[in-house]
């Protein structure tokens, strides 16, 4: 009886899908058209449109130079700071702070996600605590961080690390618990033990969620860097931005914002490269 039902279901589904997949001649109706424009070119079209809008606003005098510096003024400010060595020095300091903060935050967030995702006791203890802590604004911790650690480099790195932990934890934990149970059962049927299931089923299934958390955490890291470098900082892009505000140098202020945007775009590109290499086995919908 089950075989008859299964055969009828297959025939019914096939009859409905046949007009979509094939035409009367037996060939596919929808074929994938070759893309003439490279993907990286299309990705840069969005920032290019923003640049054209910026150029139009300043070139047509729709916005005064005191409110928004023109692209030419920003380029001149970049040359000025580059020649004096301020741009490279402050940029290197900011990159170092973000690198340390992300490294610490990623390690802690990933470890907590593994404990909560693989063990029920870990979920009961860790996940409830993380859901309590993640509702507390990270910026609100800044006064306490100053009391605990001080106002040196450790405080800035600690602030970034705390902000990075939660996106990595939440996305990775959800990805671990979101692995299809049928895949786990199939792995057990093929004789995989606990370690084999983790290595061959759970980790590959959780990688997409981890990469999503990585993308969010990098954005949070640059956002928190601005706040961190406003507190007793004598170097960094945030310090340069704060000093330019005191001098009323809108060209330097816009330059710092452009640098933040370019760094965020570069980080997103790195995550996309990781997705292509780590998720080459996955085929999903990529748009029409």
Q: What value does the mean pLDDT take over residues 231-240?
A: 82
What is the average pLDDT score of the chain?
Answer: 79
Cite the beta strand spans of the chain per DSSP E. Answer: none
Q: What value does the mean pLDDT take over residues 74-95?
A: 89
pLDDT at 22 over 60: no
Query: pLDDT digit string (tens) for 112-128?
Result: 999 988 888 888 889 88
pLDDT at 106: 94
pLDDT at 19: 43
Query: pLDDT digit string (tens) for 151-182?
Result: 788 888 999 999 999 999 999 998 888 887 88
Q: What value does the mean pLDDT take over residues 5-27?
A: 42
Please answer whether residues 254 and 69 qualify as being in contact, where contact means their C-beta atoms are separated by less than 8 angstroms: yes
pLDDT at 139: 80
- The verdict on pTM exceeding 0.85 is no
Neighbours of 194 (CB within 10 A): 10
Choose which CATH entry (3.40.190.10, 1.10.3720.10, 1.10.10.10, 3.40.50.150) describes domain 68-278: 1.10.3720.10
Per-residue tokens: 170: 């939440």
Q: What angle do CA 40, 43, 45 make, to 5 degrees?
A: 115
The band of 96, judged by pLDDT with boundaries at 50, 70 and 90, is very high
Q: Mapping DSSP to helix (H, G, I), strand (E, B) and coil, where does residue 30 land?
A: coil
pLDDT at 285: 53
pLDDT at 15: 41
Q: What value does the mean pLDDT take over residues 16-23?
A: 42
Q: Mapping DSSP to helix (H, G, I), strand (E, B) and coil, where does residue 179 land?
A: coil
Please answer whether residues 90 and 240 qualify as being in contact, where contact means their C-beta atoms are separated by less than 8 angstroms: yes
pLDDT at 12 over 90: no
Domain boundaries in the chain? Answer: 68-278
Please answer whether residues 101 and 107 qualify as being in contact, where contact means their C-beta atoms are separated by less than 8 angstroms: no
């Amino acid at each position: 009886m089950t075989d008859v039902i299964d055969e009828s279901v297959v025939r019914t589904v096939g009859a409905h899908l046949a007009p979509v997949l094939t035409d009367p001649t037996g060939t596919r109706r929808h074929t994938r058209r070759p893309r003439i424009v490279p993907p990286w070119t299309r990705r840069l079209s969005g920032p290019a449109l923003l640049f054209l809008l910026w150029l139009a606003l300043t070139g047509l005098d729709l916005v005064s130079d005191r409110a928004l510096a023109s692209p030419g003024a920003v380029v001149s400010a970049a040359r000025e700071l580059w020649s004096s060595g301020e741009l490279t020095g402050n940029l290197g300091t900011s990159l170092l702070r973000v690198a340390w903060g992300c490294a610490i935050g990623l390690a802690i967030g990933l470890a907590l996600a593994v404990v909560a995702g693989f063990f029920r006791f870990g979920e009961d203890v860790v996940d409830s605590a993380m859901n309590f802590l993640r509702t507390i604004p990270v910026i609100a911790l800044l006064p306490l961080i100053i009391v605990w650690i001080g106002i040196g480099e450790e405080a800035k790195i600690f602030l970034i690390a705390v902000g990075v932990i939660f996106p990595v934890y939440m996305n990775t934990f959800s990805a671990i618990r979101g692995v299809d149970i049928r895949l786990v059962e199939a792995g057990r049927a093929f004789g995989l033990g606990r370690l084999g299931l983790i290595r061959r089923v759970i980790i590959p299934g959780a990688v997409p969620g981890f990469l999503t958390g990585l993308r969010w955490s990098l954005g949070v890291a640059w956002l928190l860097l601005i706040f961190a470098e406003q507190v007793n900082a004598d170097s960094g892009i945030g310090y340069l931005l704060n000093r330019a505000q005191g001098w009323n140098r809108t060209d330097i202020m816009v330059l710092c914002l452009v640098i933040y945007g370019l760094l965020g775009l570069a980080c997103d590109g790195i995550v996309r490269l990781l997705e292509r290499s780590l998720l080459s086995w996955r085929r999903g919908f990529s748009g029409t």
